Structure 1
Amino acid sequence: MQYVNLGNSGLKVSRLCVGTMNMGSKDWKPWIFNEKESEPIIRHALDMGVNFIDLADFYSVGAGEEVVCNVLRRIGRRDDLVITTKVGYAMSDDINAQGHSRKHIFNSIDASLKRMGMDYVDIYMLHFFDTQTPVEETMSALNDIVRSGKARYIGVSTMNTWQLAKILQVCDQNGFVRPINMQLQLNCAYREEEREMLPFCQDQGIGISVFSPLARGILTSDLQSNRNQTDFFTQEMYNDQASKDISYSVAKVADARGCSPAQIAQAWVLNNSQVNSMLVGADSTAQFDSALAALETKLTSDEIFELERNYTPCDLINDYTSGKRIPRTARAAKSDIA
């Protein structure tokens, strides 16, 4: 396993991170793994040197934190792990059980720690940018949580670059702790964060962890999976010809290499020097091994061209642009791989 500092912080994390959205309760989504099904995947990841675990209170409406941490308490050592969880999405019908108000953040950290059976979380993250709560209120609450010892660091996820800039300005003006991690979506079929967010985070010393390196599964050449047939977000985000053409290119490069398309798609993400860690939402130990192989896969310039030639700009994928896509036109093929 490879380890890096997360941004300019002293925190060292594995370049692969266990993504846990698929672990928790089948009452939430039909493709979720229960505790018994999740344990072999988590155990294998830890055996392979992973120390970075990504959670969110929203996953299975809290059951995800319970399931994953039940396993971690049995097979892991808390001080050896870097565990993150997130706050923001609605946890009940209560009007205040969502967003990033001081009330909800304080209630949520206590509820998360209780479900996790732990005294602290390493990184407490905003799941998105709450446009209805003053940034000063949100960051003051997170600062107090770090000072209280319930979180070691804070992080952010899935927002516009100007929104992150606003957060940093408020932190610097008030002496609040700064976020050390930005978790964002990046893959061969969605690269909009390359324009501003990646270079901005690098300039500001904020680490980058990437989710959905397989574009919710379309880059694996398995469009008939249980998740792809039941997760409407896949169709909403990647149901365009450019995404399909990109998946074909991934398959071509993989075929030429004699490996799986997933390994190639993950290698493309890990080959980006601005990416600190990549989330792996594996459904099996074999799928996790694909990500391990991707760590050692160095792509050639011709392979990269083939993987990237079909990409053209699209709307940002976040809470504020849901369902908005623009037509995308591919470039012509150039190499023998095509």
Structure 2
Amino acid sequence: MEFRRLGRSGLKISEISYGNWLTHGSQVEEDAALACVEAALDEGITTFDTADVYAGTRAEEVLGRALTGRRREGLEIFTKVYFPTGPGQNDRGLSRKHVFESIHASLRRLKTDYVDLYQAHRFDYETPLEETLRAFDDLVRQGKVLYVGVSEWRADEIERALRIADEMGFDRIVSSQPQYSMLWRVIESEVVPVCEREGIGQIVWSPIAQGVLTGKYKPGQPRPEGSRATDDKGGSDMIGRYLDDDLLTRVQELRPIAGDLGLSMAQLAIAWVLQNPNVASAIVGASRPEQVRDNVKAAGVRLDADVLKKIDDVLGPFVERDPSRTISPSTRP
């Protein structure tokens, strides 16, 4: 495993992070989830990403049990706040009330006294940004949060938060967690330049595009049983936009590129996002330990310019680059 600094902070994280969004507490049984975390630790992953809302709070609980007994100082545990965790009007969003209640619940579920990174899971248009940033800063001062970040925020929203933090003396955002892959590059034109200038690192999710870039979905063929495309707990909703036969045909054309490099297609996809110098880590998820072991082999891989051009030539018309595709709900969900 190799490690990178998170933006200009002093925190170093593993190039490959382990995330449990659509798996722990939902898609796979707990024994399998624990085995995946064990494999991640064995392979040198130290960075673990989750959120209070994943699997209705169960994902944090599973991760907390999986990491029990591990040396806390040797881990970086990340979680998030914004989406609903209960039925009440204040069980969501980025109000001071919900931020404080959510972190305390997350710490209980994760069985830890602090999280290394606390992230605003979306931008909250119903809460003054000053209120959210003050709440985050208070948690930093209390030692319950070491660093703060955001997920799926647009460039102008990040800039507003930085300006307020500087004016009010709050801790600055050190990270952004966007979707990013060969097929989804909406951060490149606006978010990445702002973050490079301001010392913010990207921790990217879905580097294999919900599994599509592994090549397991074949054009004109039924979706594999047990795959995300057949998951009725949220996975199939996310992957649907990629299950176009023309796109899947193009993805199969990446197979010889990966083969020439001695990489699996998943390794090629993960290595691709790590070529971006603003990316600190790529989040991978897994339902089986062997998937973790395959994915971590992307750490340290360097792709030359010719390879990157071949990938662009293959996927060209199917790459999404529009920065307006980064959207937070106009009202709390």
Alignment TM-score, normalising by the size of structure 1: 0.87
2:228–2:239: 8 Å Cα contact kept in structure 1? no
CA distance in 1, matches of 2:126, 2:153: 14
SS at match of 1:156: strand
What is residue 279 of structure 2 aligned with on the other side? Answer: 275
Q: CA deviation at 1:304?
A: 1.3
Correspondence for 2:156 among 162, 167, 176 = 162
Q: Residue type matched to 1:59 in 2?
A: Y
Q: CA deviation at 1:301?
A: 2.8
1:189–1:243: 8 Å Cα contact kept in structure 2? no
SS at match of 2:279: coil
What is residue 10 of structure 2 aligned with on the other side? Answer: 10
**Is 1:299 matched up with 2:293?**
no
Q: Residue type matched to 1:165 in 2?
A: E
What is residue 334 of structure 1 aligned with on the other side? Answer: none
Gapped runs of 5+ residues in structure 2?
218-222
What is residue 251 of structure 1 aligned with on the other side? Answer: 255
**Is 1:206 matched up with 2:192?**
no
1:23–1:35: 8 Å Cα contact kept in structure 2? no
**Is 1:286 matched up with 2:280?**
no
Q: Residue type matched to 1:40 in 2?
A: A
**Is 1:234 matched up with 2:234?**
no
What is residue 166 of structure 2 aligned with on the other side? Answer: 172
What is residue 52 of structure 1 aligned with on the other side? Answer: 47
CA distance in 2, matches of 1:175, 1:213: 35
Q: How many residues align?
A: 316
Change (3 A) 1:287 1:188: same
Change (3 A) 1:164 1:240: farther
CA distance in 1, matches of 2:154, 2:291: 31
Q: CA deviation at 1:263?
A: 1.2
State the superposition RMSD in angstroms.
Answer: 2.0
What is residue 261 of structure 1 aligned with on the other side? Answer: 265
Q: Residue type matched to 2:46 in 1?
A: N
Deviation string 1:236-286 (CA, Å, 9 cap, x unpaired) is: 543457743552332231244453211111111122222111111122222
CA distance in 1, matches of 2:78, 2:97: 20
Deviation string 1:184-203 (CA, Å, 9 cap, x unpaired) is: 11110011111111121111
CA distance in 1, matches of 2:175, 2:247: 28
Q: Residue type matched to 1:300 in 2?
A: D
**Is 1:147 matched up with 2:141?**
yes
SS at match of 1:307: helix
SS at match of 1:185: coil
What is residue 312 of structure 2 aligned with on the other side? Answer: 308
Change (3 A) 1:109 1:253: same
SS at match of 1:56: coil
CA distance in 2, matches of 1:114, 1:292: 29
Q: Residue type matched to 1:8 in 2?
A: R
1:24–1:60: 8 Å Cα contact kept in structure 2? yes
Q: Residue type matched to 1:65 in 2?
A: E
1:237–1:317: 8 Å Cα contact kept in structure 2? no
Q: Residue type matched to 2:25 in 1?
A: S
Q: Residue type matched to 2:90 in 1?
A: N
> Larger relative contact order (C-alpha < 8 A, sep ≥ 6)?
2
**Is 1:69 matched up with 2:70?**
no
CA distance in 1, matches of 2:177, 2:89: 26
**Is 1:104 matched up with 2:105?**
no
CA distance in 1, matches of 2:114, 2:79: 10
Deviation string 1:285-304 (CA, Å, 9 cap, x unpaired) is: 22222222212433233321
CA distance in 2, matches of 1:162, 1:5: 24
What is residue 94 of structure 1 aligned with on the other side? Answer: 88
Change (3 A) 1:46 1:176: same
CA distance in 2, matches of 1:246, 1:181: 32
Q: Residue type matched to 1:149 in 2?
A: G
CA distance in 2, matches of 1:164, 1:241: 36
What is residue 220 of structure 2 aligned with on the other side? Answer: none
Alignment TM-score, normalising by the size of structure 2: 0.89
CA distance in 2, matches of 1:305, 1:286: 30
CA distance in 1, matches of 2:2, 2:86: 39
Q: Residue type matched to 1:70 in 2?
A: R
What is residue 36 of structure 1 aligned with on the other side? Answer: 31
Gapped runs of 5+ residues in structure 1?
27-31, 323-338
